[in-house]
Structure 1
Amino acid sequence: MNYGARSQPASAFAAPWYARVGLMGNPSDGFNGKTLSVTIRNFWASVELWESQQLRLLPHPLFDPSTFSGLADLHFIGRREGYYGGSRLLMATCKRFQELCTSRGIALPSKNFTMRYDTNIPRQVGLAGSSAIVNSAFQALLSFFNLSSEHIPLELQPSFILSVESELGIQAGLQDRVVQVYQGLVFMDFDAKHMKEHGYGQYERLPRASFEWLASLPFFIAYEADPSDSGKIHSNIRARWDAGDEEVLTAMKNFGELTLKARTAIENRDHAALADLMDQNFNLRRTLYGDACLGWKNLQMVEICRRCNSAVKFPGSGGAVLGLCREEPRASVDAMDKVQEALEAENYVFCPLDLVMPEGL
């Protein structure tokens, strides 16, 4: 944290949590599919919480402004940051946390707290910024009230985070919440029968050796500097799925098959196979959603990456692309420079990825 009138109290509970990129299978997480996702060190959200006489949720000076130098300043900030900051995420998390504890018979001690957040996750580009804030707040609350996965099992925590966002009307699937809770490289199977019987999917953090190989590859992301709302990208696919549309049902099954193949490619340390599968994932998504839904800026980023010999797909719901240079890591420096130059020439933000799997996992 780097703002606020007071320094962090010694008794503060701080919980930084990372953004993620969907490596394979998305958007099938919302449609009983399978996905692979990994956390990245580049972007994070953090919530601090300390005991106080009253319960206070502090607004962020940039994302929750209430004072402006004038209408021009208000217009600029509103256009860039939108109307919805993180304060609503904190309030909804606290509300749902109270309800969760009540439903599980957990009697919380009578003590109040002050909570504030910070984040550097780009907004509205599909990098799971809202879920990172919610998860960070949730984990801080668990620590503050001395609760753990023994009280609220790990496999149930992603569903809680999703419930907070759903209450706010944020469109999303479980993938982002699962990988941000489990961290590292995570395989997820959202099989309908298992979900119905247990209330959650089958989640597996892959071995550190697999993560470390993946982290050695030349991944990057690019995103729009002035994005639109990523939640709109899902189009009418949900309605078609609910109606039993055969094209949608088949596509979601195929996303799952690509995920299984990607897991095998990672286990076999097959760079070329993984790159090919990323391209297939995007091609399938493009066929299903159509160019008008994906948006010309997203398509332009994809075409630039492919011209520069990089595999590419969406890491989330839109506004950003995940790229993988096809050259082997030791020979990829020039390739990375080439794709960076091409993307930045069109005013896209370029960022080499630093994958993260916290120690001890």
Structure 2
Amino acid sequence: MVGASENQSSSAMDSLGDFIEHKAYARVGLLGNPSDVYFGRTISFSLANFWATVRLNPSQHFVIQPHPTHDLVRFDSIHHLVNRLQNEGYYGGVRLLMAICKVFYKYCSDKKIELKGGNFTLSYDTNIPRQTGLSGSSAIVCAALSCFLDFYKVRHLVKVDDRPSLILSAENELGIVAGLQDRVAQVYGGLVYMDFRKEYMDDLGHGMYTPMDISLLPPLYLIYAENPSDSGKVHSSVRKRWLDGDKFIISSMAEVANIALEARTALLEKDYTKLVGLMNRNFDLRRRMFGDEALGSLNIQMVEVARSVGAASKFTGSGGAVVAFCPDGPSQAKLLEDACKMAGFIFQPAEVVPSLLNEEDLKTLSSK
């Protein structure tokens, strides 16, 4: 295999031609989430610790290949099947790949983009822990979309700002409720400030996305549980209350969005003392809006473990994992590591992915 480029694309020869492989990373919502679903603002970054890969091989027939672990259709018994469903639900990557195929085809048809190139076989793999709020599903879809752009040679015709919306549309096909934040971080890579105010969404169909220098970030840490509770229920009642005009939800969500705006300034000025307060306030507001029952005791415990040693902490997404900042440096980080180990949580430094946009991608940005 040829060495991967910065946007993690690889290719080599097989019997029918080039194969294409793309990698998409997990995502950490640093500040402002979940206001992206409510015309707010967020700051997120791509997390190099975990990723999904999709491989496209030219083939005689159009094939989507099930993953041997994530798309099980053969079980030891009915008990094995039911236990699997109770623990992990009706998940798997095949449905995600099918959905992005449909959405991508429709997008190109609507835009009069001709697709030439024949058939192919899609396969995928992922090491993103399930139900950790690290955007494992959208990573698979994002990697597949990148494969399509290169296989059909239409990368220059599909604007970067449109790609997160395509990824989200594929997930919406499957009933997955989410916002654009995760998909923007995975398409752009690096650290991105996002503004989803209503006028942008109405006029452009997407937000305004501003890449930031990843060197502005202080050392951050990831905390997660090996067997987290389902994070999907977190948005359940808040969305309806927001749509119904609940003043508390509307004002609280506006404050969450403003946290991202303040955090952008804090990062640019490297005012990490202010960052501590903003991260903690972000979580406190989420907790007030959603309530402990929706957030889950295990998720709350991860935040409380971080706070017990003086670290700032909040969810990376809608629960399942926490991003933490230790303002007192390595000694405090060691205390946090020890506290996580005692509580049974996994602790590791968060590694940030540099920007994933190549020259061809940047041209689509400049022409918008």
TM-score (norm 2): 0.90
CA distance in 1 between counterparts of 2:72 and 2:178 reads 26
Question: 1:120-269 alignment to 2 at 5 Å?
Answer: 120-148=127-155, 150-206=156-212, 208=213, 211-214=214-217, 217-269=218-270
Report the 3-state secondary structure (helix = DSSP H, G, I; strand = E; otherwise coil) of the residue aligned with 1:115.
strand
Amino acid at match of 1:355: V
Alpha-carbon shift at residue 179 of structure 1 (Å): 1.0
Mapped contact 1:50–1:115 kept (Cα < 8 A): yes
Tell me, which stretches of 5 or more residues in structure 2 are unaligned?
2-11, 359-368
After the TM superposition, which of the residue ranges 8-17 and 287-296 deviates more from structure 2?
8-17
Mapped contact 1:19–1:180 kept (Cα < 8 A): yes
What corresponds to 1:21 in structure 2?
A: 28
After the TM superposition, which of the residue ranges 267-276 and 55-64 deviates more from structure 2?
267-276
Report the 3-state secondary structure (helix = DSSP H, G, I; strand = E; otherwise coil) of the residue aligned with 2:157.
coil
CA distance in 1 between counterparts of 2:136 and 2:352 reads 16
What corresponds to 1:297 in structure 2?
A: 298
CA distance in 1 between counterparts of 2:13 and 2:296 reads 43
Alpha-carbon shift at residue 338 of structure 1 (Å): 1.8
Mapped contact 1:80–1:226 kept (Cα < 8 A): no
CA distance in 2 between counterparts of 1:286 and 1:78 reads 29
CA distance in 2 between counterparts of 1:295 and 1:51 reads 45
Alpha-carbon shift at residue 75 of structure 1 (Å): 5.2
1:335 counterpart = 2:332? yes
Alpha-carbon shift at residue 224 of structure 1 (Å): 2.1
Amino acid at match of 1:356: V
**1:310/1:359 CA distance change after superposition, 3 Å:** same
Mapped contact 1:21–1:322 kept (Cα < 8 A): yes
CA distance in 2 between counterparts of 1:133 and 1:360 reads 18
CA distance in 1 between counterparts of 2:119 and 2:205 reads 31
Alpha-carbon shift at residue 248 of structure 1 (Å): 1.3
Amino acid at match of 2:164: P
Amino acid at match of 2:268: E
CA distance in 1 between counterparts of 2:88 and 2:171 reads 18
Mapped contact 2:228–2:298 kept (Cα < 8 A): no
1:105 counterpart = 2:112? yes
Report the 3-state secondary structure (helix = DSSP H, G, I; strand = E; otherwise coil) of the residue aligned with 1:235.
helix
TM-score (norm 1): 0.91
**1:14/1:242 CA distance change after superposition, 3 Å:** same
CA distance in 2 between counterparts of 1:159 and 1:54 reads 28
1:325 counterpart = 2:326? yes
CA distance in 1 between counterparts of 2:77 and 2:247 reads 53
Show CA shifts across 1:79-131 (max 9, x none): 54432111100011111111111011011125000000011111111111111
CA distance in 2 between counterparts of 1:341 and 1:154 reads 42
CA distance in 2 between counterparts of 1:73 and 1:235 reads 30
Alpha-carbon shift at residue 247 of structure 1 (Å): 1.1
**1:274/1:177 CA distance change after superposition, 3 Å:** same
Mapped contact 2:187–2:356 kept (Cα < 8 A): no
Report the 3-state secondary structure (helix = DSSP H, G, I; strand = E; otherwise coil) of the residue aligned with 1:138.
helix
Amino acid at match of 2:130: R
What corresponds to 1:276 in structure 2?
A: 277
Amino acid at match of 2:340: L
Show CA shifts across 1:134-176 (max 9, x none): 010011011110111x311111111111111011011111100
CA distance in 2 between counterparts of 1:81 and 1:177 reads 23
Mapped contact 2:188–2:355 kept (Cα < 8 A): no
Mapped contact 1:183–1:357 kept (Cα < 8 A): yes
1:37 counterpart = 2:44? yes
Amino acid at match of 1:138: L
Report the 3-state secondary structure (helix = DSSP H, G, I; strand = E; otherwise coil) of the residue aligned with 1:121.
coil
Amino acid at match of 2:179: G
CA distance in 2 between counterparts of 1:241 and 1:180 reads 27
Tell me, which stretches of 5 or more residues in structure 1 are unaligned?
2-6
Mapped contact 1:172–1:231 kept (Cα < 8 A): no
1:53 counterpart = 2:50? no
Q: Over aligned residues, Cα RMSD in angstroms?
A: 1.9
